[in-house]
C-alpha cells in the first residue's frame, strides 16, 4: 500500500504556521502527545504575519500543534482516526478571525512503524543498537523513510513514534477520499519525502 507524508508547505504560498495558546492555560509547554488536555479546552492560533489568505485544511504551528479544518476533522472522524480534537479559533496576525472552523489534533496515534534497517537516517548504528538494547534513541536526519506496513495495521492517519518527524502520515485510501472532497492538502509519497 502507498502512504503519504502530509506537508506543511503549500506551493507556491509556502509554510502556513502560527502560535497556539490554550484556555485553560497549560501548566507547561504544549506537547501533542504527553500534555493532558481537558475536554472543555479551547485553543487560539495567531497565524504568522506572512499568511494573508488562509485556505488550507492542515497546518502546523511553531508550538507543535497540528491544526485541521472542520471538513478534514469530519473526514478523520468518519474514518475512526484516534485523536482528541480541540476547538480552535484561528486569527490572522492582525487579529481578524479566519472564516473557517479549525481544530487542533491532539494525541494523534503514534506508531512505531519505521523500518529502521531499510530507512536512511543519521546515527543509524546507534538507533539500531538502541532498539535491541533500550532505552530507545530517537531517529533524526532522515534521507529516506521506509515503513514497516506490518506495524501499521488498519491505521489510516498517524505519526511516527521515536522520530523527530512531525508530519502526519495518511493512507492512500484516505488521501484519495480527501481529494474527492476537494480538501486542500499537500502530500508526498513517504518513500519520496525529503525532510
Say how far apart CA 116 and CA 171 lie, in whole Å. 20
**Cell representation of residue 85:** 480534537
Q: Specify if 134 maps to a domain.
A: no
Query: Containing H/E element for 77?
Result: helix 70-78
For the whole model, what pTM was predicted?
0.94
Question: So what's the pLDDT on residue 130?
Answer: 97
Beta strands in 3-125 (DSSP E): 3-6, 9-10, 14-15, 18-23, 42-47, 58-60, 66-69, 84-91, 102-106, 110-111, 120-122
Question: Does the residue 18 lie in any domain?
Answer: yes
In a domain, 130, yes or no: no
Q: Which domain holds residue 9?
A: 3-112+143-192
Q: Judge whether 90 lies within some domain.
A: yes
Residue 12 in domain: yes
Is 132 inside any structural domain?
A: no
The pLDDT of residue 11: 83
Query: Based on the structure, what is the number of domains in the chain?
Result: 1
In the block, which residue shows the cell 492542515?
58
For the chain (length 195 residues), average pLDDT per consecutive 10?
A: 93 86 93 92 94 92 96 98 97 94 97 97 97 96 95 96 95 98 96 81
Residue 139 is predicted with a pLDDT of 96
User: Is there a domain that residue 138 lies in?
Assistant: no
186 falls within a domain: yes
**What's residue 22's pLDDT?**
96
How confident is the model at residue 13, as a pLDDT?
A: 75
Give the whole-angstrom CA distance, residue 109 versus residue 159.
6
Q: Given this model, what pLDDT does residue 192 score?
A: 87
Amino acid at each position: 500500500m502507498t502512504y503519504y507524508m502530509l506537508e506543511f508547505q503549500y506551493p507556491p504560498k509556502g509554510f502556513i504556521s502560527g502560535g497556539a495558546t490554550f484556555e485553560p492555560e497549560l501548566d507547561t509547554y504544549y506537547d501533542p502527545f504527553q500534555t493532558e488536555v481537558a475536554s472543555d479546552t479551547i485553543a487560539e492560533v495567531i497565524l504568522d504575519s506572512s499568511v494573508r489568505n488562509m485556505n488550507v485544511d492542515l497546518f502546523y504551528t511553531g508550538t507543535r500543534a497540528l491544526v485541521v479544518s472542520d471538513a478534514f476533522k469530519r473526514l478523520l472522524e468518519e474514518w475512526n482516526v484516534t485523536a482528541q480534537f480541540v476547538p480552535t479559533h484561528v486569527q490572522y496576525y492582525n487579529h481578524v478571525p479566519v472564516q473557517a472552523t479549525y481544530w487542533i489534533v491532539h494525541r494523534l496515534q503514534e506508531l512505531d512503524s519505521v523500518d529502521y534497517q531499510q530507512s536512511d537516517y543519521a546515527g543509524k548504528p546507534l538507533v539500531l543498537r538502541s532498539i535491541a538494547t533500550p532505552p530507545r534513541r530517537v531517529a533524526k536526519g532522515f534521507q529516506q523513510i521506509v515503513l514497516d506496513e506490518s506495524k501499521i495495521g488498519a491505521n489510516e492517519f498517524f505519526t511516527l513514534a521515536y522520530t523527530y518527524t512531525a508530519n502526519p502520515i495518511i493512507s492512500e485510501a484516505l488521501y484519495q477520499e480527501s481529494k474527492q472532497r476537494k480538501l486542500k492538502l499537500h502530500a508526498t509519497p513517504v518513500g519520496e519525502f525529503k525532510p
